[in-house]
C-alpha cells in the first residue's frame, strides 16, 4: 500500500514526492508522458540541452527556493536578455536605454523620457478603447508599432484594435542601460539541463511512465491512501461544468549545420508577417558550447502561438474572469474531494513560474506531513 499516488512527474509532483519519500512515506509517481520533468524537460542533442517545451529560465528572489534547487544542479550565470527583431532592425529588450538609443538616437534618460512623453501627448488618447490605444498611451507610437503591435496580435490571434485595453495594464520601461529581463535576485540555467533536477528529486522513488491516471485509476487508487493530482482539474471532474480554456503553442525544432545562428538565446519576432513569435537558439542558454560537437552545430526552435482545443497541450491557463469563475466551481468540488490534493499549474489552473511551483509544492507537502 502506498501513502501517496502522485499523478504527474513534473516539478510539482517531483518536489512533493521527494519530500514525502524523505519523510519515510511510500510513494509512487505516474506520468502519461514517456519522460519525467513535465514541461521543464530538457534533452541533449549534439551536446546541447534542448528545452523541448519552450525556453525555461530559472529566476527568483526567494532564497529558500533558490537554495533548494541548488541541491540538485549547479546553475550557470545566464541572464535573460532577449533581442527583438522588427524587419531588419534589432532592439534590446526589455524596453530600456539601449532600445531608446537605437530607436531615436537619444543618449540620456531625460531625452528618452521626453521622446516617450512627446509621443504620448501627440497621440492624445484620453480613454483607451482598445489594446492599441492603451499601448500607445503608455509608450508612444514608435515602440508600439515596432515592438508591441505585431507580437501581441500574433499571440492573441486578433488585431490590437479588436483586443480589450485591459490586457495591457502597463508596459515596463526602464531608463537604464540594462538588458536584464528579470528583476529577481537570483537567475540561471542548470548546467546539464532541467531533467536531471527531476531525476534527482525522484531518486529511489517508483516512477511509472506512459501511465494515464484516467486509464488506470480503478487499479491504482485502491493501492494508495492519498492522491496528489497535478493534471487538469476539469478533466479530473469529467468536465462536469464545462472546459477551462488555455492558449497553446506549437514548437518547430531544427538542427542546423551552423555554429551560431542568431547570436542570442531568445530573439522575438515583432512584425506580424513573420508567423512565429520567437526563435530560441538553445546553445546560448549554456556556456561551453563552443567546443566539441556542438561547436559545429546548433539547435533552434521556432515558437508559434496556437489556439487550444481539447486534446492539445494546455500551455497557458486563460486566467480571465470567465475561466477564473469556472475554475472557482471546480475548486469547490476539489475541496470536497476526500484524500485528493490538487497541485501545480494544471491542478490549480494558474500560470506558475518554476520558482512558484517549488514554493507551492514545498508548502503543500509540509502542511500535509505535519497534518499526518
Rule CB under 6 A: which residues touch ligand FDA? 7-13, 30-33, 38-40, 53-58, 212-214, 230-231, 249, 315, 344-346, 352-355, 357
Residue 40: φ, ψ to 5°: -95, 10
Pick the closer one to ligand FDA by CB: 177 or 287: 287
Pick the closer one to ligand FDA by CB: 31 or 368: 31
Pick the closer one to ligand FDA by CB: 11 or 103: 11
- Rounded-to-integer distance, Cα 228 and Cα 76, Å: 32
Whether 350 contacts 60, CB under 8 Å: no
Residues with Cβ within 8 Å of 29's Cβ and at least 6 positions away in sequence, in order, are 6, 8, 9, 13, 14, 17, 36, 202, 205, 206, 207, 208
Q: How far is the CB of 217 from ligand FDA (least distance, A)?
A: 9
Q: How far is the CB of 3 from ligand FDA (least distance, A)?
A: 19
Q: How far is the CB of 348 from ligand FDA (least distance, A)?
A: 8
Helix (H, G, I), strand (E, B) or coil at 134: helix
Whether 306 contacts 249, CB under 8 Å: yes
Stretch (H or E) spanning 22? helix 11-22
Whether 128 contacts 134, CB under 8 Å: yes
Whether 186 contacts 59, CB under 8 Å: yes
Pick the closer one to ligand FDA by CB: 144 or 181: 181
Pick the closer one to ligand FDA by CB: 93 or 357: 357
- Rounded-to-integer distance, Cα 178 and Cα 184, Å: 14
Active site residues: 170, 174, 247, 278, 303, 351, 353
Q: How far is the CB of 77 from ligand FDA (least distance, A)?
A: 16
Pick the closer one to ligand FDA by CB: 2 or 100: 2
- Rounded-to-integer distance, Cα 261 and Cα 145, Å: 26
> DSSP class of residue 12?
H
Q: How far is the CB of 195 from ligand FDA (least distance, A)?
A: 12
Task: Give the strand pairing for 58-60 and 266-269.
Answer: unpaired
Residue 78: φ, ψ to 5°: -55, 135
Q: How far is the CB of 354 from ligand FDA (least distance, A)?
A: 3
Pick the closer one to ligand FDA by CB: 142 or 337: 337
Would you put residue 192 in left (φ > 0), alpha (ψ -120 to 50) or beta?
Answer: left
Q: How far is the CB of 91 from ligand FDA (least distance, A)?
A: 21
Whether 359 contacts 65, CB under 8 Å: yes
Cell numbers 480503478 correspond to what residue?
218
What is the DSSP secondary-structure string of 144-198?
Answer: IIIIIHHHHHHHHTS-GGGS-GGG-S------SS-------SEEE-BTT-SHHHH
Amino acid at each position: 500500500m502506498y501513502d501517496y499516488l502522485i499523478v504527474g512527474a513534473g516539478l510539482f509532483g517531483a518536489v512533493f514526492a521527494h519530500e514525502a519519500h524523505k519523510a519515510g512515506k511510500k510513494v509512487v509517481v505516474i506520468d502519461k508522458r514517456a519522460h519525467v520533468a513535465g514541461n521543464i524537460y530538457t534533452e541533449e542533442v549534439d551536446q546541447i540541452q534542448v528545452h523541448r517545451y519552450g525556453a525555461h529560465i530559472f529566476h527568483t528572489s526567494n532564497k529558500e527556493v533558490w537554495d533548494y534547487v541548488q541541491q540538485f544542479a549547479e546553475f550557470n550565470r545566464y541572464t535573460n536578455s532577449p533581442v527583438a527583431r522588427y524587419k531588419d532592425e534589432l532592439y534590446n529588450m526589455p524596453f530600456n536605454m539601449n532600445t531608446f538609443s537605437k530607436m531615436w538616437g537619444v543618449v540620456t534618460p531625460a531625452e528618452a523620457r521626453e521622446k516617450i512623453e512627446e509621443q504620448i501627448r501627440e497621440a492624445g488618447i484620453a480613454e483607451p478603447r482598445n489594446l492599441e490605444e492603451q499601448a500607445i498611451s503608455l509608450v508612444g507610437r514608435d515602440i508600439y508599432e515596432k515592438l508591441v503591435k505585431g507580437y501581441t496580435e500574433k499571440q492573441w490571434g486578433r488585431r490590437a484594435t479588436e483586443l480589450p485595453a485591459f490586457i495591457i495594464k502597463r508596459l515596463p520601461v526602464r531608463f537604464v542601460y540594462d538588458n536584464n529581463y528579470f528583476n529577481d535576485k537570483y537567475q540561471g540555467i542548470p548546467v546539464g539541463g532541467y531533467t536531471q533536477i527531476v531525476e534527482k528529486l525522484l531518486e529511489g522513488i517508483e516512477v511509472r511512465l506512459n501511465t494515464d491516471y484516467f486509464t488506470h485509476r480503478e487499479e491504482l487508487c485502491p493501492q494508495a491512501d492519498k492522491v496528489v493530482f497535478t493534471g487538469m482539474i476539469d478533466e479530473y471532474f469529467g468536465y462536469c461544468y464545462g472546459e477551462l480554456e488555455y492558449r497553446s503553442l506549437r514548437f518547430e525544432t531544427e538542427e542546423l549545420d551552423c555554429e551560431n545562428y542568431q547570436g542570442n538565446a531568445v530573439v522575438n519576432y515583432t512584425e506580424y508577417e513573420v508567423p512565429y513569435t520567437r526563435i530560441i537558439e538553445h546553445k546560448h542558454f549554456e556556456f561551453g558550447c563552443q567546443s566539441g560537437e556542438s561547436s559545429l552545430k546548433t539547435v533552434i526552435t521556432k515558437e508559434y502561438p496556437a489556439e487550444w482545443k481539447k486534446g492539445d497541450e494546455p500551455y497557458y491557463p486563460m486566467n480571465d474572469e470567465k475561466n477564473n469563475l469556472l475554475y472557482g466551481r471546480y475548486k469547490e468540488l476539489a475541496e470536497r474531494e476526500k484524500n485528493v490534493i490538487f497541485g501545480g499549474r494544471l491542478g490549480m489552473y494558474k500560470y506558475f513560474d518554476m520558482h512558484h511551483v517549488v514554493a507551492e509544492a514545498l508548502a503543500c507537502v509540509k502542511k500535509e506531513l505535519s497534518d499526518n
